[in-house]
Amino acid sequence: MTQKLDSYFTPLPLRDIKIHKTILDYQNIIDPTYLLRHADRFTSDGVQQLLTLHPIHVIVERKKYYCIAGIRQLNIATVCLDDEASIPVRLMKGLTGEQIKDLYLADLFLTPLVFSVENADVIDAIKQAVGIEAGKWTGLADCSKSQLAKALGLSLTSLYYDRKTTKRG
């Protein structure tokens, strides 16, 4: 699905976006923080929707584009899309070094703090509510409970633990 981009976005080929040098020091704490264990479960439409909702923020230095926020989205796009794919990005201009640092550190800390799900069973409740409509974004929309638990790296009981009817010892 191709969406019309407004002036907020700049379309860029995925291959042209590099990770800003200051973020590379944090790369080891970014990769394992996904709730979904394998990003390749998204369709290209799903990735494009994600990037429209949560764009990658880039700056230009010496005629090269560098991601300064949205590193998780960039990682997902790199896994799921062809290198030649054009993706929507937010081109940031006129930032100081301190502003760049604030953006990438805020993204590293605030993004998972705000967008993580408190209880894994909420994912299934959302999946049930959205139904087959989400099938165009990921095959997880209509998978079984055991497949969803496996994709999230959870046991079936931790994903579907019924706190109302199950007693804890």
Those residues whose C-beta lies under 8 Å from the C-beta of residue 80, and which sit 6 or more positions away, are 39, 40, 42, 43, 44, 46, 47
Measured distance CA(169)–CA(160) in Å, rounded: 18
- Closest to 89 (Cα-Cα) out of 130, 132, 58, 123: 58
Those residues whose C-beta lies under 8 Å from the C-beta of residue 166, and which sit 6 or more positions away, are none
118 vs 48 pLDDT, higher one: 48
What is the model's pLDDT at position 169? Answer: 45
For residue 119, what pLDDT band results from cuts at 50, 70 and 90? low
pLDDT in tens, 21-48: 888 877 766 655 566 767 788 899 999 9
The domain spans of the chain are 1-116, 117-169
* pTM for this prediction: 0.75
pLDDT at 162 over 60: no
What is the model's pLDDT at position 149? Answer: 80
- Closest to 74 (Cα-Cα) out of 32, 117, 34, 17: 17
pLDDT in tens, 51-97: 999 999 999 999 999 999 998 899 899 999 999 999 999 999 999 98
Mean predicted lDDT score pLDDT of the chain? 81
Residue with tokens 């030649």: 84
Measured distance CA(169)–CA(167) in Å, rounded: 7
